[in-house]
Amino acid sequence: MAKVTYIEFSGKPHTVDVLIGTSVMRGAVDNGVPGIDGDCGGECACATCHVYVDPAWLALTGSRTEMEQSMLSFAAGTEDNSRLSCQIAMSAALDGLVVKLPEGQH
């Protein structure tokens, strides 16, 4: 397990334990964090798990895949630190990760 803090658009934080080897999307869904839907179940097919990675963590979360880049290029409110959280694999190195959530996923 590693800790991830999800900050809702309203500013409300949720710090939860996420199983290592799963994804940052899965951690939110399994813990009932509002604001991440993950409609396609983590297939990078829907862009409903959009998050903004806290700049301090950008180097460790890696870069977007080509598929992810395409999906994000048409999502609302995409920023330089936007990621699809189903594509961020949870690892011990990400213990303490902070991500912010957009206003909506749809």
Partner 1 sequence: MSSDGVVIVGAGHAAGTLAAGLRQGGYTQPIRLIGAEPLPPYQRPPLSKAWLKGEADPAGLLLRPASFYAEHDIDLRLSTRVTGIDRAASRVRLDSGETLAYEHLVLATGSRLRRLEVPGIDSEGIFELRTEADAQALRARLGPGVRLAVVGGGYIGLEVAATARGLGAEVVVIEREQRLLARVASQPLSAFFADFHRAKGVTLMLAASVAGFATTAGKVTGVTLASGQTIDCDLALVGIGALANDALAIEAGLVCRDGVVVDEQALTSDPAIFAIGDCTQRPMPRYGRTVRLESVPNALEQARQVVARLCGKPMPAAEAPWFWSEQYELRLQIAGLSLDVATTVVRGDPASSRFAVFHLDAGNRLQALEAVNSPAEFAAARQWVTAGQIIEPARAADTALPVKQIVQSVSGAA
DSSP state, 94? G
| Closest distance of CB 61 from partner 1, Å | 20
Give the closest residue to 44 by CA, choosing from 7, 8, 83, 77: 83
Own/partner pairs, 67-70, CB within 8 angstroms, 24+ separation = 68/44
| Number of helical (H) and strand (E) elements in the chain, helices listed first | 3, 5
Interface with partner 1 by CB under 8 A: which range of 35-43, 52-60, 88-96?
35-43
In the region spanning residues 65 to 94, those forming contacts with partner 1, defined by CB under 8 A, are: 67, 70-71, 73-75
Q: Which of 30, 57, 64, 96 is in the footprint of partner 1 by CB under 8 A?
A: 30
What is the binding site for partner 1 (CB under 8 A)?
Answer: 22, 26, 29-30, 32, 34, 37, 39-41, 43-47, 67, 70-71, 73-75, 106
